[in-house]
Structure 1
Amino acid sequence: MEPSALLLFAASYLAVLILPGPSVTALIARVLAQGLGGAPAFVAGVVTAALLWFTLAATGLALLAASLGGVFEVLRYAGAAYLLYLAWKLWRAPIRPLAAPPPAADAGRMFLAGLAVNLGNPKAMMFFFALLPTVVDLGGLTLLGFFELALVTAGICTSVLMGYALAAARARRLFTSPRALRLMNRGGGAVMAGTAVTIVAR
């Protein structure tokens, strides 16, 4: 694929991801409340969903997916329900020292949360469907070109989300008292619940 086309795609995708959406909001809330534990798994879930949306668009299935609106409505409500469950758990979470490792099952739950947030956002698919035809000839897209675009997608998505997570982790270190940590847990839970409501209200 032409380097100029890859660069244009990368710049456009970066510009969209830098603006905080449901995925960024939920990630920051979780990191502020309980630290970086689980953040890489959440990011992996978001990236997996982004690659799924990219694949649907790149293979010309975006129109088919758009016609199955009911399926995506179910995904959206399921994702919102799962976020509400996580918000409730965060609200009631015990206060752990900043250095305490996350529970063993946390990574799996956070991966599913990231997956649910992004799969519940069909606008992510529509972004790929709108952008790809402007930078590549989808009819002549080679396997190598597909993997180049997928690599750019995964790299940018991971970098932006982990950047937000690391910034939130630095901010969290300013709060060390049990009362502050409890307030952050509950604030994070409230923000995550708000994200769920936003997803449903779209």
Structure 2
Amino acid sequence: MDLAGLLLFSSALFIAAASPGPGIAAIVARVLGRGPKEGVAFSIGVALGDVVWLTFAILGLAALAQAFHGVFLVVKYVGAAYLLYVAYKIWSAPAVARDVAAETRGEHPAKLVLGGLALTLGNPKTIVFYLALLPTILDLTRITALGYAELVAATLTVLGMVFAGYIVLATRARRLFTTPKAIRILNRTTGAMLAGAAAAVASR
């Protein structure tokens, strides 16, 4: 596809992705609560969810998505329930000094990727961008196979930049919490952020 269209899409996606929402809140909370490794794995799942909705939009499957509304509703609530579970685990985690061994213990990367994917598939903000706003930005009926590949590459690049920025900032903030009292505050704040992200997804 032409460079102007690709830049327009990338710019719109950057603005949408960088604005705070359930996905960003969940990624930041992951990093604050469990470290950057879990944040990276979770963000990969979030990005894959964006690619799924991009594909739906380009293939003209908006009507199919409506037909399977019940399925996506279940996915939405499963994603919200997962976030609530993680929020509880982090909220109730003991406020002890972290060490390298503790940093390596956590959820399996595949589970984190699936969690991020489920969150995005049920995230109203993402759905609105790809199924409602994207058709006003690009003529989706004229996207070729090469154009689709370029859009996927642009999507992953833009989201990678946005998520990496948030992960770096959250990692730096996390290093400020060293005392048990500060860690307890961090755990409670992180748990609350995840619970808020879950509520945002489930209530829309």
TM-score, normalized by the shorter chain, greater than 0.5: yes
SS of equivalent to 2:25:
helix
Aligned partners of 1:96, 1:42: CA distance in 2, in Å? 24
Q: Does 1:199 align with 2:204?
A: no
Residues 133 and 124 of structure 1: CA distance in aligned 2, closer, same or farther (over 3 Å): same
Report the alpha carbon displacement of residue 97 of structure 1 after superposing the two structures with TM: 1.5
Q: Runs of at least 4 residues of structure 1 off by over 4 A?
A: none
Q: Deviations over 1:12-64 (max 9, x none)?
A: 11111111100101111121222212111001100111100100011110222
Q: CA RMSD for the aligned pairs?
A: 1.8
Q: Deviations over 1:56-96 (max 9, x none)?
A: 01111022202322122111111111111111111223435
SS of equivalent to 2:166:
helix
Match of 1:4 in 2: 4
Residues 98 and 28 of structure 1: CA distance in aligned 2, closer, same or farther (over 3 Å): farther
Report the alpha carbon displacement of residue 106 of structure 1 after superposing the two structures with TM: 3.7
Aligned partners of 1:5, 1:132: CA distance in 2, in Å? 11
Match of 2:115 in 1: 113
In structure 2, which of residues 169, 177, 182 is the aligned counterpart of residue 180 of structure 1?
182
Could you tell me whether the CA contact under 8 Å between 2:45 and 2:115 is conserved in 1?
A: yes
User: Number of residues paired by the alignment?
Assistant: 202
Aligned partners of 1:87, 1:108: CA distance in 2, in Å? 19
SS of equivalent to 1:164:
helix
Report the alpha carbon displacement of residue 201 of structure 1 after superposing the two structures with TM: 1.3
What stretches of structure 2 of length at least 5 have no aligned partner? none
What stretches of structure 1 of length at least 5 have no aligned partner? none
Deviating more after overlay: 8-17 vs 130-139? 130-139
Could you tell me whether the CA contact under 8 Å between 2:34 and 2:106 is conserved in 1?
A: no
Report the alpha carbon displacement of residue 143 of structure 1 after superposing the two structures with TM: 0.6
Aligned partners of 1:107, 1:178: CA distance in 2, in Å? 27
Using structure 1 for the length normalisation, give the TM-score: 0.92
Match of 2:171 in 1: 169
1:109-148 correspondence to structure 2 within 5 Å? 109-148=111-150
